[in-house]
Amino acid sequence: MCFYGSNIKKTVSFEDYLALSISDDYKCEFVNGELIIMPPASGFHALITIFIYDF
């Protein structure tokens, strides 16, 4: 039910949010009745993760 880059705004209840079958490919947050899709991690994010791990 999450669409990346969609400009359609629709509010849902928390119960509806819990009932959604959201793909593992997307990370969504529920904020004030709106589903916010989190962008995927970038290559720069991966470099920072490696740096922190090696530190």
In the chain, domain spans: 14-54
pLDDT at residue 2, rounded to an integer = 53
Contacts of 32 (CB under 8 A, 6+ apart): 11
Residue 23 has pLDDT above 80, yes or no: no
Position with higher pLDDT, 32 vs 20: 32
Q: How far apart are CA 45 and CA 51, in angstroms?
A: 10
Q: Could you tell me where the beta strands, DSSP code E, fall in 1-55?
A: 27-31, 34-38
pTM of the model: 0.47
**Gap between the Cα atoms of 26 and 12, Å rounded:** 18
Mean pLDDT of the chain: 80
Question: In this structure, how many other beta carbons lie within 10 angstroms of the beta carbon of residue 22?
Answer: 13
Q: What percent of the chain has pLDDT over 90?
A: 13
- What percent of the chain lies above the pLDDT cut of 70? 78
